[in-house]
């Protein structure tokens, strides 16, 4: 799997240095938890849950969620937002990828801890008449 990731990164970098699609840009952002970082964090967590609950394996869910985030960064690097608006970005950001990975990690952790009711031994709940929350924890 590591070799596949390295091949994808090599392809991404080689595309980034070609002049056919656009000029490669590196973002000059920070790791501050801005709206963009929140979108990467929650988007990757949501992508993981989408793949995982469509009967993909854990490894496939992690891989495909990460590839979506990586693909978005390539788009951000090649399409300047000044010219393409919301379709573009301000450049390739390593911090965005970090938040992608953090979102995937949180989703994986929640998915391992928070199991469906039929597999549970511990149940907790809350209800105030308008809002209710119920969950069960599973121990292996």
Query: Taking the CB of residue 42, how many other CB atoms lie within 10 A of it?
Result: 14
Beta bridge partners of 80: 89
Summarised one tens digit per residue, pLDDT across range 64-101 is 999 999 999 998 888 887 777 777 788 899 999 999 99
**Segments of the chain scoring below 50 in pLDDT:** 16, 18-20
Q: What is the pLDDT of residue 20?
A: 47
Query: Which of 61, 60, 55, 87 has its CA nearest to residue 74?
Result: 87
Q: What is the pLDDT of residue 33?
A: 92
| Spatial distance between the Cα atoms of 96 and 90, rounded to a whole number of angstroms | 11
Q: What is the pLDDT of residue 118?
A: 61
Q: Return the SS3 of 38.
A: helix
Q: Please tell me the chain's helix, strand, coil percentages from 3-state DSSP, rounded to the nearest 5.
A: 60, 15, 25
Query: What is the pTM for the complete model shown?
Result: 0.67
Concatenated DSSP letters of 47-97: HHHHHHTTT--HHHHHHHHHHHHHHHHHHHHHSBHHHHGGGSBS-B-HHHH
| Spatial distance between the Cα atoms of 79 and 138, rounded to a whole number of angstroms | 45
Q: What is the DSSP letter of 33?
A: -
Yes or no: say if 114 and 126 are a contact pair by the CB < 8 Å rule: no
Yes or no: say if 108 and 58 are a contact pair by the CB < 8 Å rule: yes
């Amino acid at each position: 799997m590591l070799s596949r990731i390295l091949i994808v990164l090599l392809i991404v970098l080689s595309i980034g240095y070609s002049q056919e699609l656009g000029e490669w840009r590196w973002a000059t952002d920070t790791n501050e938890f801005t709206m963009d970082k929140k979108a990467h964090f929650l988007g990757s967590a949501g992508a993981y849950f989408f793949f995982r609950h469509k009967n993909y394996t854990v490894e496939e869910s992690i891989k495909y969620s990460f590839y979506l985030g990586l693909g978005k960064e390539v788009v951000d690097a090649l399409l300047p937002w000044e010219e393409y608006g919301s379709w573009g970005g301000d450049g390739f950001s390593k911090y965005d990828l970090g938040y992608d990975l953090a979102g995937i990690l949180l989703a994986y952790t929640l998915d391992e801890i928070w199991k469906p009711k039929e597999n549970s031994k511990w149940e907790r709940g809350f209800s105030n008449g308008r809002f209710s929350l119920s969950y069960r924890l599973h121990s292996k």
